[in-house]
Amino acid sequence: MRLFEQPAHVLHDMLVKKEITSAELTQDVLARMDEVEGDVKAYLHVTKEAALVQAKAADEKIARGDAIAFLEGIPCAIKDNICTKGVPTTCASKILEHFVPPYDATVMTKLEKEHPVMLGKTNMDEFAMGGSTENSGFYPTHNPWDTDCVPGGSSGGSAAAVAAGTAIWALGSDTGGSIRQPASFCGVVGMKPTYGRVSRYGLVAYASSLDQIGPIARDVTDCAHILNVIAGHDEMDSTSADAAVPDFTKALKEDVKGLKIGLPKEYFVKGMDADVEKTVRAAIDKFKELGAEVVEISLPHTDYAISTYYLIAPAEAATNLERYDGISYGERVNGADVVELMTNTRSEKFGEEVKRRIMIGNYALSAGYYDAYYLKALKVRTLVQQDFTEAFEKVDVIMAPTAPTPAFRIGELVSDPLQMYLQDICTVPLNLAGLPGISVPCGFSSKGMPIGLQIIGKALDEETILRAAYTYEQTQDFHTKMASIGGKNA
């Protein structure tokens, strides 16, 4: 068994016991990258030389007998919309193709104190707009379980890297399911914290009231450790939650006796893949065996969540992307005058999905339509939030599929944006409500593709969903399965 197959907590113990070195570990992951990256295409930028320097520094520290941090010396990958000083941050967009940030995002500043080995920046849907990573301005990422399929999105590169063994863990961002859905498609664990739990400073904005950074890892234990590092109040982010950060690893207990699980009838809808429903219901039955209580609940405004999201998110995106005009910000395509310059720049440098969402957003915000669309969407968002508030008066967590289908084939939905948007039906409501959620592997489809169980918690109650996810994970071995290129278990 190779080192890249192990989760971070196992590798940390091996480093501390001097059973391995960080250099050996990093070389093994880089060798894995040489083997499979040509097929997976998880990365946009690889920082091999810097990674080896970081690994050497970790080994020198261990050799001196110094204590090391949990993530120290362990290879990771960062989604390419998180600013990394001196390392390109393109958001997978040609308009930022040569952008190198002069500063680090807050999460990177926090991570630097842990001294992980950063392998590079991962591919994504351009500006995080998409659910398949097919909207990257450079190339699509492929699912390691079947390279004819998408890895999900928009954090598809991060999820695919962890699933393929070309990173031990990664950071992603989640605006409407962009951590959880690719985690489900790639058979790894992905967590969206409560809105404001992790600073957004240095995260290139898509939709500012929805975006949240979170971890993607092999198992729940790693997610809890990573969240310990990146969570916390930040004065640089006005939306950051000024709340105490517990030690999330203390929630990793095998105990769901008496836990009340809500099963929303609206999440098990017609058209849902039969394998997904069967597998998720089997996972929920396992919770019953472990002593949890399952009750059916209703989240009546779920049907309106997709339309609400696809008004609010594009409206915020249109505002955030105004700065990319080729003059004040972004790559430039010249023209005869300012208007032609801006038109040429945006026409050539933005992808089709980004243009589509900017146009939807500007329309929703325009005079005469603001009240009919954007303002109404904000009111419905409040109703979605109230649904969850009422549900959590009766239950401790809510469980549902992460996605209505397993990973679909590359190109299958690219010409049908509406069907692509409907892939978000199970994940979008959490972002509208600002709640935490986690996707854990719970089985495979008849074609051998991973399926994820989504566990949803109350605001700032990541501990309960981590406990539930950990308890379930300890009874299963799905999270230990490694993808090998071609769709077979390693």
Q: Which of 461, 487, 458, 415 is nearest to 135 (CA)?
A: 415
Active site residue 93: no
Hey, what long-range contacts does 417-425 have (CB within 8 A, 24 or more apart)?
417/353, 417/356, 420/130, 420/131, 420/132, 421/131, 421/306, 421/310, 422/306, 423/131, 423/177, 423/181, 424/131, 424/176, 424/177, 424/181, 424/306, 424/309, 425/267, 425/269, 425/302, 425/305, 425/306
| Token pair belonging to 338 | 């300012």
R_g over Cα of the chain: 21
Distance CA 9, CA 32 (A): 20
User: Which is catalytic among the residues 154, 155, 173, 439?
Assistant: 154
User: Which is catalytic among the residues 22, 41, 61, 79?
Assistant: 79
Which residues, including other chains, have CB under 8 Å from residue 457's CB and lie 6 or more apart? 396, 397, 398, 435, 436, 437, 464, 465
Residue 467 · residue 447 · CB < 8 Å: no
Paired sense of beta strands 169-173 and 293-297, if any: unpaired
Residue 145 · residue 367 · CB < 8 Å: no
User: Which is catalytic among the residues 93, 178, 199, 445?
Assistant: 178
Active site residue 79: yes
Active site residue 445: no
Distance CA 275, CA 339 (A): 52
Catalytic residues: 79, 154, 178
